């Protein structure tokens, strides 16, 4: 078990900055789970006497135009960031991996499904997400679906590419020639070997989901306005930028820190990955 843990942590021990990324992600998850215990104030509590206060001893990150404590709101905002990240990654993996694997195993399915993926990729990411929000309506769940569809395409392509390579491996061919069924081959021999490239993809998707969700929130089309998400905080504080420039700093810094850390983690994992899969992952990003 410890040996296994060591292999998992190895890319992070070799590169200090990636370790920093991993720690930030850990702290964020901790903050999201224990938000009500850590946050010094109620994120929704209004204090009209302390409106637009700069950072002070009572309010480390200052207060917004309703006198709500920015630090508490930022801490609670990590909950939504985590929900969006986990939601988008799950959606992308649960749709993209079956699509990619089925396409690789059955070329006829692939001809149709991968063409469909190409078609979806012709839509600029944010326009696709906005179009879906128009159809589905505005909510956190729909934001997850809208951003998830964007990354379903890149995930399907990676799963397809990796699965095609694995299919040609000697041990997979050996299993198949021994009469192991397709489903068994996929579950036993292919999926377990796809875990590392998919883990890399998951960390990038998590990172870009943060930016996508922030954009939707900023445009007023993401999480409902009363939700304390980092993007919503930026959207609300926008008009106070000259009067209270610090207001936009902290929520923005949290988005950047989260996306940056996950990018570092993804990069470190990718560099440690079997070189054969790096080419497939090279084209995985989509903005």
Q: Which residues bind other proteins (CB under 8 A)?
A: 17, 115-116, 118-119, 122-127, 130-131, 133-135, 137, 207, 211, 214-215, 218-221, 234, 238, 241-242, 245, 248, 252, 255-256, 259-260, 263-264, 267, 282, 285-287
185 or 237: CB nearest other proteins: 237
Give dist(CA 125, CA 146) in Å, integer: 9
Distance in Å, CB of 124 to other proteins, minimum:
4
**Distance of closest approach, residue 242 Cβ to other proteins, in angstroms:** 5
Instruction: Give the shortest CB-116-to-other proteins separation in angstroms.
Output: 7
User: Please, what is the minimum distance in Å from the beta carbon of residue 254 to other proteins?
Assistant: 11
Token digits of residue 8: 């998992």
Cα gap 180→263, rounded to integer Å? 38
CA atoms within 13 A on the CB side of 159: 28
Closest approach of other proteins to the CB of residue 13, in Å: 17
Q: Which is nearer to other proteins, 66 or 123 (CB)?
A: 123
Residue nearer to other proteins on the CB measure, 50 or 121: 121
For other proteins, the closer of residues 130 and 273 by Cβ is 130
Which CB sits closer to other proteins, 190 or 248? 248
Q: Which is nearer to other proteins, 63 or 284 (CB)?
A: 284
Q: How far apart are the first and last CA of the chain?
A: 38
Q: Which two tokens stand for residue 95?
A: 């749709």
Rounded least distance, CB 119 to other proteins, Å: 4
With 0-12 / 13-18 / 19 or more C-beta atoms within 10 angstroms meaning exposed / middle / buried, residue 273 is middle
What would the 3-class secondary structure string for 88-144 be? Answer: HHHHHHHHHHHHHHHHHHCHHHHHHHHHHHHHHHCCCHHHHHHHHHHHHCCCHHHHH
Nearer to other proteins, 52 or 180 (CB): 52
> With contact defined as beta carbons under 8 Å apart, do 59 and 114 qualify?
no
Give the orientation angle of helix 246-271 with respect to helix 230-237, to 10 degrees.
150
Nearest-angstrom CA–CA distance, 284 and 157: 8
C-alpha 171/C-alpha 248 separation (Å) is: 54
Minimum gap (Å) between residue 286 Cβ and other proteins: 8
């Amino acid at each position: 078990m410890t040996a296994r843990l060591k292999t998992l942590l190895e890319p992070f021990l070799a590169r200090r900055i990636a370790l920093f990324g991993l720690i930030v992600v850990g702290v964020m998850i901790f903050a999201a789970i224990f938000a009500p215990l850590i946050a010094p104030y109620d994120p929704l509590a209004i204090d009209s006497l302390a409106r637009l206060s700069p950072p002070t001893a009572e309010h480390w990150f200052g207060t917004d135009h309703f006198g709500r404590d920015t630090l508490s709101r930022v801490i609670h905002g990590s909950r939504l960031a985590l929900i969006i990240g986990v939601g988008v990654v799950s959606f992308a993996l649960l749709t993209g991996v079956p699509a990619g694997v089925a396409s690789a195993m059955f070329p006829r399915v692939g001809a149709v499904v991968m063409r469909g993926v190409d078609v979806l990729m012709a839509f600029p990411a944010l326009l696709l997400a906005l179009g879906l929000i128009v159809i589905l309506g505005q909510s956190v769940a729909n934001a997850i679906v809208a951003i998830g569809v964007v990354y379903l395409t890149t995930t399907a392509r990676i799963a397809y590419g990796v699965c095609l390579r694995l299919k040609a491996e000697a041990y997979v061919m050996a299993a198949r020639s021994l009469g192991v069924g397709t489903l068994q081959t996929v579950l036993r021999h292919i999926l377990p070997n796809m875990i590392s490239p998919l883990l890399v993809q998951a960390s990038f998707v998590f990172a870009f989901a943060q930016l996508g969700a922030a954009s939707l929130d900023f445009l007023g089309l993401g999480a409902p306005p009363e939700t304390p998400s980092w993007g919503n905080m930026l959207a609300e504080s926008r008009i106070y930028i000259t009067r209270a420039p610090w207001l936009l700093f902290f929520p923005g810094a949290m988005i950047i820190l989260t996306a940056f850390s996950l990018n570092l983690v993804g990069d470190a994992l990718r560099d440690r990955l079997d070189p054969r899969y790096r080419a497939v992952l090279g084209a995985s990003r989509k903005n």
